[in-house]
Amino acid sequence: MTKVKTSLGRRSFIKSVSLAGGGLIIGFNWLACKGPVEEGSEELAMQMPKEWFELNGYLKIGENGIVTIYSPNPEIGQNVKTSMPMIVAEELDVDWNNVIVEQAPLNTEIFTRQLAGGSQSIRQGWQSLRTAGATARQMLLTAAADQWGVPISELSVENGVIKHEGSDKTIGYGEIAKAAVNVEIPEEVELKEIDNFKIIGTSRKNVDAKKIVTGQPLYGIDTYKDGMLIAMVIQPPAFGMEFKSMDAEKAKGMPGIKDIFTIDTYPEDMEKEWSDVGSFSKLVVVVGESTWQVMQAKKAVKVEWDLNPKLTKEIEILEKSAGMDGATGLESSDIHTNLMAEVGSRKSEIVRKDGDPEKAFKNAARVIERSYTCPFLSHNCMEPMNFFADVSDGKAELLGPIQTPEYAEKSVNKRLGYDLENIDIQMTRMGGGFGRRLYGHFLVEAAVISEKMGTPIKLVYSREDDMTNGVYRPAYHVTYRAALDANNKLTAFHVNAGGIPESPLFANRFPAGAVDNYLAESWSLETNISVGAFRAPRSNFIAGAEQSFLDELSEEMGQDPIQFRLDLLERAGSDPVGEENDYDAARYAAVLKLARDKSGWNNSSGMNRGVSAYYCHNSYVAQILDLRVENNKPLIDKVTCAVDCGIVVNPDAAKNMVEGGTIDGIGHALYSEMTFKDGVPQQSNFDTYKIIRHNEAPKSIDVHFIDNGIDPTGLGEPPFPPVMGALANALYKATGKRFYKQPFITELQGDLKT
């Protein structure tokens, strides 16, 4: 067994305290588990201890052996409410059927990372979750050994029942929990060997599944409280504009309308958190009794907007420097495209340089150069932004879907001036996140509105409000160059990547480390359009572009695309260039080989087949996509996925995430696009913003995990980026044309019609 220290730092310590009625409570970070039992149900009567204590962030053992774990992590569909408690239950050696979970409120005194993002929940919680379960087990065993007067080495435990091998005595966790309170916390505990896992590595159902499919209230938008009013906002129609004046007299007289006013969400003198990203600070607010009444009143409010000279000045200068006529500072998509192509590379900075790439390109027998672009994207969570707020008498009760509650609490503190202990944020399950709910401006808006009205408020965004409010995936552009010598061998590789307003470059990722002469350059351009993290930030573009270029390069060199990648990875593993390469070449190669074998790469059965592989969020994914064209439509028959994310805690849940990420990646690469004209978003609902439909998803997704015993790494995001490259490469096989611009459907439909 592996021994670990039970002390994990000031915020991740383990402690025991006594419970009234007898019981053991173990405090630790990163806990989540089984769904709460309904009040009044037969199951509750059978399971609940006679006395129960709600202590956020603690593992509780009742006198009947039931374990409750409060989950501090926001749940956005990544299934942490099931997978994380499995880790605790494994080391605790408790019957999974005797474990219950409830969502914890925000508690910064106990939890260190109440955040859903970066595919880090399982990875960062792995050690502390195991340690917490193992520590509780050790204390319970010690208490039993003391009570029976036997050595602890003679005891074993299974499913929450301790057994003495010599006398066949048994005792349940619940019966010994009171005595365990007085046991001194061990300085170190032994963790299970991987081969002895009974729960980890087995599939367990989503603990919220029944509530989800039966439509029970789980999401923020389901919130209803007595006396609650509905609020909606009216925002500027274009990026670069701001509120000037309004005429709301007619709207104020409409049925159910309580008030119409303006707010400034983030005054200029307010110190912002990194999560305080919002497109428009000054908003018109309509408050009424029902959503329908408020939506009708919104249409009746006459608002006049003005150009904001501070916002538009830099953009206007940038446009003029590019020689564009009629520069106004109000951005349009065609101007974005021109700026990235013409101005971006002039602002490049060298981020990494190996060897002498300039000389290698100068002496090259042939240079292959290709450029790739993608547009802004809207997150479009199925549940639009919303939040409940009840702010009065110096206290704020907030409830809703947020990925960053800890930062949101600080934002409310700075905006309203309330003490942190008087701000209570409760988290609901989220109907989609994808990075959009990392940014809590809508929560702050709800708090400001409630304080002004002096009544409970539920702020609701319409789909149009949500889609045109910004915090988009940035627009990107990358140019790749490869130098080939007279023997058609790769001698140099150059990547120049940038975007609006950030670069997608990862300078130390593959093929860095595999080429003697390597150059990576980065740039960015200003914008008034607010952006934020989008599922697998930056990787969600650069992976597809890189893998498309590598495919085309392998063809130019007359090599099999998988073997070409494997040869580069062999060099990176055996004789790497540089010391800052951030990937493991052997693990990278392993997923490629597994995907090749499982797909039957050399027997495509008439399919148009594309391959891609990528490393991000500490995990490796390779995908092989089979595509055909029927009746002028592309049909995806199968995607074979090979994944190395270390130990898989819950196989069914992990497979679901890979399937979902794969479909999501295909949909965005094929269809999704946010465009602008004079600062105005041209898409505002799903009639103009295309997302993938059920009949356009792959007919089959075959998922395989590499079993290597490595501690778990990310999974929510890694399957998303590479499939875009596999799709582009398969489309090339089907049409004979390379695809350099997302969304692919524009060029694809044109090709299929000819």
pLDDT tens figures, 492-520? 999 999 999 999 999 999 999 999 999 99
> 179 and 278 share a domain?
no
Within 335-402, strands assigned E span: 349-354, 366-374, 386-392, 395-400
Judge whether residue 448 has pLDDT over 70: yes
CATH code of the domain in which 626 resides: 3.30.365.10
Look at residue 325 and tell me if it is in a domain. Answer: no
Look at residue 632 and tell me if it is in a domain. Answer: yes
- pLDDT confidence bin for 223, thresholds 50/70/90: very high
Mean pLDDT of 415-435: 94
Among the listed ranges 279-283, 318-322, 723-727, which one has the minimum average pLDDT value? 318-322
Rounded distance between C-alpha atoms, residue 17 and residue 478, angstroms: 57
3-state secondary structure 599-658: HCCCCCCCCEEEEEEEEECCEEEEEEEEEEEECCEEEEEEEEEEEECCCCCCHHHHHHHH
Among the listed ranges 29-38, 43-52, 672-681, which one has the minimum average pLDDT value? 29-38
pLDDT at 8: 40
Rounded distance between C-alpha atoms, residue 696 and residue 417, angstroms: 50
Question: What b/e string do you get for 171-187 counting C-beta neighbours within 10 Å, with b at 16 or more?
Answer: bbbbbbbbbbbebeeee
pLDDT at 53: 26
* Half-sphere exposure at residue 727, Cβ-oriented, CA atoms within 13 angstroms: 32
Alpha helices, H only, 12-75: 42-47
**Pick from 170, 197, 213: which residue ends a domain?**
213
Percent of the chain as helix, strand, coil, to the nearest 5: 35, 25, 40
CA nearest neighbour of 584 among 546, 541, 622, 618: 618
Look at residue 319 and tell me if it is in a domain. Answer: no
Judge whether residue 369 has pLDDT over 70: yes
Please check whether residue 615 is in contact with residue 678, taking contact to mean a CB–CB distance below 8 angstroms. no
**What percent of the chain stands above pLDDT 70?**
90
Rounded distance between C-alpha atoms, residue 718 and residue 536, angstroms: 7
pLDDT tens figures, 616-668? 999 999 999 999 978 778 899 999 999 999 999 999 999 999 999 999 999 99
Look at residue 313 and tell me if it is in a domain. Answer: no
pLDDT at 88: 85
Mean pLDDT of 75-87: 85
Residue matched to tokens 């006529």:
325
- pLDDT confidence bin for 15, thresholds 50/70/90: very low
Judge whether residue 328 has pLDDT over 80: no
- Kindly state the tokens that stand for 647: 């130990």
pLDDT at 607: 84
> 442 and 537 share a domain?
no
Q: Is 317 left (phi over 0), alpha (psi -120 to 50) or beta?
A: alpha
> 236 and 174 share a domain?
no
Q: What is the CB neighbour count within 10 angstroms for residue 604?
A: 13
- Kindly state the tokens that stand for 525: 């351009």
Which 3 state secondary structure label does DSSP give 63? coil
What DSSP designation does 222 have?
G
Judge whether residue 55 has pLDDT over 50: no
Look at residue 719 and tell me if it is in a domain. Answer: yes
> 198 and 128 share a domain?
yes
> 605 and 720 share a domain?
yes
> 543 and 435 share a domain?
no
Please state whether beta strands 58-61 and 67-71 pair in parallel, antiparallel, or not at all (unpaired): antiparallel
Residue matched to tokens 């009974």:
198
> 606 and 746 share a domain?
yes
> 436 and 484 share a domain?
no
Mean pLDDT of 241-258: 97
**Pick from 172, 190, 213: which residue ends a domain?**
213
Omega of the bond leading into 401 within 30 degrees of 0 (cis): no
Rounded distance between C-alpha atoms, residue 585 and residue 569, angstroms: 5
Among the listed ranges 82-86, 263-267, 712-716, which one has the minimum average pLDDT value? 82-86
Sheet holding 619-630, edge to edge: 608-616, 619-630, 633-644, 700-705
Rounded distance between C-alpha atoms, residue 239 and residue 5, angstroms: 53
Judge whether residue 409 has pLDDT over 60: yes
- Kindly state the tokens that stand for 351: 């981020």
Among the listed ranges 14-23, 132-141, 581-590, which one has the minimum average pLDDT value? 14-23
In the chain, the number of structural domains is: 3
Look at residue 57 and tell me if it is in a domain. Answer: yes
Look at residue 246 and tell me if it is in a domain. Answer: yes
Rounded distance between C-alpha atoms, residue 518 and residue 506, angstroms: 13
Average pLDDT, the chain: 89
Q: Is 379 left (phi over 0), alpha (psi -120 to 50) or beta?
A: alpha
Mean pLDDT of 690-714: 96
> 687 and 725 share a domain?
yes
pLDDT at 69: 66
Rounded distance between C-alpha atoms, residue 626 and residue 608, angstroms: 6
- pLDDT confidence bin for 332, thresholds 50/70/90: very high
Look at residue 158 and tell me if it is in a domain. Answer: yes
Q: Which domain holds residue 448?
A: 220-308+385-460
pLDDT at 605: 75
Rounded distance between C-alpha atoms, residue 504 and residue 498, angstroms: 6
- pLDDT confidence bin for 301, thresholds 50/70/90: very high
pLDDT at 296: 98
Rounded distance between C-alpha atoms, residue 378 and residue 475, angstroms: 11
Name 649's Cβ contacts closer than 8 Å, sequence gap at least 6: 83, 86, 87, 122, 200, 201, 712
pTM of the full structure: 0.92
> 481 and 452 share a domain?
no
Residue matched to tokens 């009947």:
64
- pLDDT confidence bin for 31, thresholds 50/70/90: very low
- Kindly state the tokens that stand for 460: 């609701």
Name 349's Cβ contacts closer than 8 Å, sequence gap at least 6: 521, 522, 523
Q: Is 202 left (phi over 0), alpha (psi -120 to 50) or beta?
A: beta
> 196 and 251 share a domain?
no
Mean pLDDT of 421-434: 94
pLDDT at 327: 65
Rounded distance between C-alpha atoms, residue 507 and residue 497, angstroms: 10
Q: What DSSP assignment string belongs to 495-521?
A: EEEEEESS----TTSTTTTSSSEEEEE
> 537 and 397 share a domain?
no
- pLDDT confidence bin for 308, thresholds 50/70/90: confident
Alpha helices, H only, 195-325: 209-213, 249-252, 291-300, 309-321
Rounded distance between C-alpha atoms, residue 86 and residue 34, angstroms: 9
Mean pLDDT of 558-579: 97
pLDDT at 342: 87
**Pick from 434, 460, 486: which residue ends a domain?**
460
Adjacent-strand bridge partners of 477? 373, 498
Which 3 state secondary structure label does DSSP give 741? strand
Mean pLDDT of 586-604: 95
pLDDT tens figures, 110-169? 666 778 888 888 888 888 888 878 888 998 999 999 999 999 999 999 999 999 998 989
Rounded distance between C-alpha atoms, residue 379 and residue 362, angstroms: 43
- pLDDT confidence bin for 47, thresholds 50/70/90: low
CA nearest neighbour of 31 among 130, 135, 158, 159: 130
